[in-house]
Chain A
């Protein structure tokens, strides 16, 4: 059983390790990976490692500067900012992963079907995608989140909706190329229907580019989600979300710089991490460079 599994996936496993080897040599990949892993680790261990309770109010310690007891200082309700930043990572990353999963999944299917079927269906779907893409992503997300009502889940749905066309468009392009290959004609000749071909042939061949795009979009998602919270449309207080923290911290920026700066810094670093890792991943997976 295990033997069969290993034989079946032997090549994928080898490819995976080869990819890892190439990534190790790439400085941006390593840097990005370190950042991402750091953030993920922080998010996962927050409940255990965070020094305080994120929503524990301590009015006696309001707006304290970074120091021994509070490495990042405290906010206007005396809550430890380091703890809130750590918990914030959980939320941001969770949003990112969920959005990419939803948008990637739906977008890929839409794009693959559109590209494969072509003609009118393709036209219709792509024009619909164009409509969505013609809005600046943040504005559209804001409008949707506002319409749905301010909450974490609605923020996720809003951002996912905005990201779908990016995946759809990319996968459609790949589907157009894959469609012309002879194995597709062979599948049709064998009697396979369109849906079967899209699911078994087109989508697997688009997989790696979806992964790469996903990594890049993750960064953008975190930014948009933070922006939504910044204007109050995403997570609601007292949830410690980075964007929300900056929103409140803005008021105190002049005298209590630490409030907005630390969450802002973490957004910056996280997004950069995903971006440079995604870029390196794209390069490494490019079949021409792999030779």
Chain B
């Protein structure tokens, strides 16, 4: 089956300007060669700490940021090169749900307009038809019909996320990017939202790119997981395989640093030293080697490539050949 979304070698560098005249001094290598493919009904979890580039990948896939190199294809059609009208036609198939329930909704817009806007902008419906579809969508995400005439501040964080989800799904997209959708929510609300998102996928077959820094949420939501570090994917595997045996030392560090709600297992160990480095001054060779507990000579000199080590389980690490 053809993948719904295919990203090949995405690269995005942000130029850094310094000095009085804004001379460009260096590059912030936010995303440095990321590839993946997503099929219908599948969720790919993109996990990593701050500065790893996962949010940037999300924006690149949606064409909210221009690619420096690489391509994004939607069902075989290359999205990254589209502009104007052609791009807008494709846009209704690629949607996004953002992190911050405070700023992801326009405080001056009624829910009706916020959720209905994608329909109007894409000329998929007008007038009463818009209201009808908005009501139906709100019901599907667990809100009541009378909420159409309310403003965002009248809702709780969890409800606002539901509105954001309704807005993303109303045009019937095939692919949705979730950028840390529950990071700002309480645990009990997060559970509701995650259940809802999974349920919608089961019913409609959406393909999800689920971005988060929280490994336990990623595990719960994803079929496949890609671990990012400083702009590249260091390991990717099916969820069960990744947690069965994590190959890359960074993945292992992430897992061991994750505090588990079980005092009998004192597992939270700081396996890596130092802070998360910035993508401006990248280390030579393997990006992770300065912090890696298993670094060797070769790691300082050459950057390992992403290679398939076990069935459908790839990693970029010299430990594996």
Contacts and interface: CB of A to CB of B under 8 A. Distances in A.
Q: Do A and B make up one complex?
A: yes
A181 B167 contact: no
Contacts of A10: 149
Contacts, number: 73
A190 interface: yes
Contact of A190 (B95, B107, B110): B95
A205 B105 CA distance: 12
B121 A196 contact: yes
B94 interface: yes
| Most chain B CB atoms below 10 A, which of A4, A181, A191 | A191
Interface residues of B, number: 34
Contact of B91 (A7, A189, A204): A189
B171 interface: yes
| Most chain A CB atoms below 10 A, which of B95, B99, B121, B154 | B121
Contact of B94 (A183, A186, A189, A207): A189
A205 B95 contact: no
B104 A183 contact: yes
Contacts of B106: 181, 183, 187, 201, 204-205
Contact of B103 (A182, A187, A191): A182
Contacts of B158: none
Contacts of B91: 189-191
Interface string B66-106: 00000000000000000000001001101110111001111
Contact of B154 (A11, A185, A190, A196): A11
B273 to A, nearest CB: 34
A192 B88 CA distance: 8
A87 to B, nearest CB: 40
A188 B149 contact: no
A8 interface: yes
B151 A182 contact: no
Interface residues of A, number: 23
B203 interface: no
Interface in A194-210: 196, 200-201, 204-205, 207
A205 B103 CA distance: 13
A196 B122 CA distance: 12
Contacts of A7: 149
Contacts of B128: none
B108 interface: yes
Contacts of B168: 186
Interface string A2-18: 00100110110000000
Contact of A183 (B59, B103, B151, B154): B103
Nearest to A196: B121
A190 B110 CA distance: 17
A11 B147 CA distance: 13
A191 B173 CA distance: 12
B200 interface: no
B64 interface: yes
A183 B108 CA distance: 11
B279 interface: no
Given A8-B110, A186-B164, A200-B117, A191 B98 contact: no
Contacts of B149: 4, 7-8, 10
A191 B151 contact: no
A200 B113 CA distance: 10
Nearest to A190: B118
A213 B108 CA distance: 20
A285 B121 CA distance: 32
Contact of A185 (B64, B94, B150, B171): B64
Given A8-B110, A192-B117, A192-B121, A183 B64 contact: no
Nearest to A189: B96
A204 B107 CA distance: 10
B140 to A, nearest CB: 18
B102 to A, nearest CB: 9
Contacts of A183: 103-106, 114
B217 interface: no
6 contacts: A8-B149, A11-B151, A187-B106, A189-B62, A190-B167, A191-B122
Given A11-B151, A182-B100, A192-B117, 10 more contacts: A7-B149, A182-B103, A186-B98, A186-B164, A187-B121, A189-B64, A193-B88, A196-B121, A201-B109, A205-B106
Interface of A: 4, 7-8, 10-11, 181-183, 185-193, 196, 200-201, 204-205, 207
